Amino acid sequence: MDSFPSDEFDAIILGTGLKECILSGLLSVSGKKVLHMDRNDYYGADSASLNMIQMYKNFENEEKVPEDTLGRSRDYCIDQCPKFIIGCGDLVKMLIHTGVTRYLEFKHVGGSFVYHTGKLYEVPVTAKAAITSTLLGTFQRFRAQAFFSWVAKFDETDNKTWDKCQPFQQTMKEIFAYWKCDENTITFTGHCIALYTNDAYLDNVKETVRCLNRIKMYAHSLMKYQKSPYIYPIYGLGGLPEGFSRLAAVHGGTYMLRFPVDKVVYGEDGKVTGVNSKGNFAKLKKGGVLIGDPSYFMDTLNTKEPKIKKSGKVARWICILGAMPAALNKKDCESAQVIIPGRRIHRPSDIYISIMSHNLAVTPKGRYVATISSNVYTQKPKQELAIAYKMLGPVIKDFFITSDTYFPQNDHRKDKVFITSSMDATTHFESATREVQLIYKLVTGKAVDLTAKPEDVNKEDE
């Protein structure tokens, strides 16, 4: 298709990253007429899964792959922003509600680990796990056991389950203090279970109930999948944006790849009216909205009214291994998430490691892909991530990528433009899912339907 349909649209979406594709699918299901464009010739943008030839072409400017050492190119599906899905989380509910699960098959991830005192430990989240975990000291095991037992029974609507705590009036710092949790327990609970990226939640009373519910969700997911709370689509995350794209198409959405945006057009009132591409104009209906990732608004950075602002820099170190890292060999897992809390190594932010293998259909047999990701702050980002790199053992091939991250700066009430933030460094989808829910509600005035039951998602047991 070389020209746009003559229709007017309720929403024009730029970029086929995961957030944009989820929004496209949700809006189409809700009855909105959607046009979805991407300058690339593939779905996924930063969320794409690439084979080895594509990796060499994109990051080495070469097309010849040493298959004698790496294996066949087509056996790789390497995520550019690897993330696992928490089994009982909101993204799973969205997948089920929209029916995208019919296009995908999931497997559970083999383990979730935290770095402490130079070693890796399984993340304890239940009372039983706490009492046996070597991550905790003798007395702290009993205190953590009492805390997790209380959280398991906690119900924000029933004050009989609150013990002597006041979750709507106390901060999490005060809750932890009541249960005599030490700094180690607080760190892995906040960063590896509740999945916060910093410690600001500890002093924010508005986060207390949310934090407790996040811990419960993690525990429920772990009970469901046993080895870890995470699931992952086989053949890589690229299947997620493709699945939501199919969903939108089924509900009347129009997809146009290889269509760069020449200009976003605004009316005299400052509200967006459509976009120009290849000499064509795609028009929004009155009251229509434009949604896009930051790359489509880079031209506004140096203007008087920039629509995006730089928020930092993320590094991703993609490594091909010939064996599971030695630290995980005895853990009996073929895939894993590892979180190195920043405060453990005197960094402002955590370091995340995702490790996947043939078990998830993303590498040839005998090969593993490990991706280290984190915010970086100096001119020597490899040095910042060296502690994680050394943990991997011998590396056959690596790709090191740094990218600036951006967040929206515009007022969507004035221009009807909704810009997603850049993908963060985390190896889970929790922040991305919350952002999708917020944008959907701002656009439609309604919350995303999250009534689906997570147990309905398919999984392949090992």
Spatial separation of the C-alpha atoms in residues 35 and 282, rounded to whole Å: 8
Give the pLDDT of residue 6. Answer: 67
The strand pair at 280-292 and 8-14 is best described as parallel
Spatial separation of the C-alpha atoms in residues 261 and 247, rounded to whole Å: 24
Virtual torsion, Cα 35, 41, 46, 51, nearest 10 deg: 140
pLDDT higher for 333 or 54? 54
> pLDDT (tens digit, 9 = 90+) per residue, 248-283?
888 888 888 889 999 999 999 999 999 999 888 999
Q: What are the domain boundaries of the chain? A: 8-48+238-307+409-420, 107-232+312-404
- Whether the predicted pLDDT of 102 surpasses 90: no
- The amino acid that residue 391 corresponds to is M
> pLDDT (tens digit, 9 = 90+) per residue, 286-340?
999 999 999 999 999 989 999 999 999 999 999 999 999 988 876 678 999 999 9
pLDDT higher for 57 or 244? 57
**Whether the Cβ atoms of residue 170 and residue 212 lie closer than 8 Å to each other:** no
Q: Provide the greatest CA pair distance for the chain.
A: 70
CATH fold of the domain at 8-48+238-307+409-420: FAD/NAD(P)-binding domain (3.50.50)
**Whether the Cβ atoms of residue 121 and residue 264 lie closer than 8 Å to each other:** no
CATH architecture of 107-232+312-404: 2-Layer Sandwich (3.30)
CA 317, chain centre distance (Å): 17
* Percent of the chain at pLDDT exceeding 70: 96
> pLDDT (tens digit, 9 = 90+) per residue, 212-235?
999 999 999 988 887 889 999 999
Sole residue written with tokens 């995006």: 308
Question: Quick one: which H or E segment has residue 337?
Answer: strand 336-340
- Whether the predicted pLDDT of 355 surpasses 50: yes
Give the pLDDT of residue 457. Answer: 60
DSSP letter for each residue of 417-439: EEEPPPP-S-SBSHHHHHHHHHH
**CB under 8 Å to 275, separation ≥6 — which residues?**
12, 14, 37, 261, 262, 263, 264, 265, 281, 282, 290
